[in-house]
Amino acid sequence: MKLITAGERRYALLLAARDSDYVKKVYGGYFNVFVAAFGEEGERWDLFRVVDGEFPDMNELHKYDGFVVSGSPYDAYGNDYWILKLCFLLQTLDAMEKKVLGICFGHQVLCRSLGGKVGKACTGWDIGLRKVNIVKDLSVPGFLEDLDEVPSSLSIIECHQDEVWEVPMGAEVIAFSDKTGVEMFAIGQHILGIQGHPEYTKDILYNLIDRLLNNNSIERDFAENAKVGLEIAEPDRKCWEKICRNFLKRRQNFTFS
């Protein structure tokens, strides 16, 4: 599902993971998952497989209205060449004040690129549904204003063993959980990081849990408990999608003060 209309808004997915066999078979690839979650008719979405060294032309960046950085099995604090190149790209986009939405690894690598600290989560893997609490004393950012009511908490699908330790200078922590101190952060009007996966469906996570179990990344009891949690509750997926769309497409200014 690629939405292209000449002269309309243009976005890019910076894909930091390779398509799993399951996602390719069921959805045609992660690109389609992201466009289904965040895209709208009359937009152009381009795919850059940064994990394989495919990056947008630096002279073309001004043509984009926003960028989304996906999750990844790689460490955001790693020094693989493509990760370092991605960090430089994100620093450039920040200087241009282009909208950048980072998801999971994207959230972490955004933080690293802009001067924050990331690393292994002190409490280990977080896989399954997690209740994320919105910071109470925060002035409501613009991308939350369009919700009928700003919720005190939202459930989201998580799958990570790394986390943000310290946000960059000038960043605001918007949400936290009992597992992770920085579930969501923003800088100005153009940077938003989300640790969870607003784009994930349950079946994608079920398959990912099986793959992590099969390659001995997690224990069987842990995997089964994560699946049970998915069976008894639902993520607030529509609300997360609206937040992400509002952030990427909202023209009005928003501030934290």
Torsion angle (degrees, nearest 10) of CA 72, 173, 129, 205: -10
Alpha carbon distance 12, 20 (integer Å): 20
CB contact set of 254 (below 8 Å; sequence gap of 6+): 141, 142, 143, 145, 189
Q: Which residue type occupies 138?
A: L
Active site residues: 104, 197, 199
* 8 A C-beta contact, residue 243 and residue 144: yes
Which token pair is 80?
């693989």
Which token pair is 34?
């992201």
Q: Which residue type occupies 210?
A: D
Alpha carbon distance 46, 117 (integer Å): 29
Q: Which residue type occupies 20?
A: S
Alpha carbon distance 147, 23 (integer Å): 30
Q: Kindly provide the b/e burial profile for residues 108-128, where b requires at least 16 CB atoms within 10 angstroms of the residue's own CB.
A: bbbbbbbebebeebeeebbbb
